[in-house]
Amino acid sequence: MFLNIKEMEVRRIQFDESFETGEIDFADTGLRQITPIHAVGSATLLDNTGGEIRVQGRYTGTLEADCDRCLALTRFPLEKSFDLFYRPPPDLDVDEIIRSRARRSDQRADPPGAADAEDLPRRMQGDLSRLRSQPQ
């Protein structure tokens, strides 16, 4: 999922993404994704922050794991809100990055001014692995 910074300068971006089984790596957690994880929300470039982005939304899905006590298969329905802030490093010149991407002759799949939002699945993975340690 990519968020276009240039577009966010004009308006809030809405997203509606599904992460199919296997797209998010849960191998180290003992969890197995049974259904797609669906994330819906919006991203906003915050005024007067030097490029800070706020991503808000909600995700849903179902995971399963073996119970640590009885080894029975246990399902974890997911329904959680998130409110994330992304701040560029202080020495990062966002305008220069956008200009250099526009000057490149080799066109990549991501458009100029796109910010990689790969942190969202990693954040969801962290939240979901904590679920496993909570009693039912």
Q: Answer yes or no: pTM beyond 0.85.
A: no
pLDDT digits (tens, 9 = 90+) for 37-80: 999 999 998 888 878 899 999 999 999 999 888 989 999 999 99
Q: Tokens 């004009």 — which residue?
A: 10
**Which residue range forms the structural domain that includes residue 109?**
2-132
Number of structural domains, the chain?
1
Whole-angstrom distance, CA of residue 33 vs CA of residue 122? 14
Q: What is the SS3 assignment for 101?
A: helix
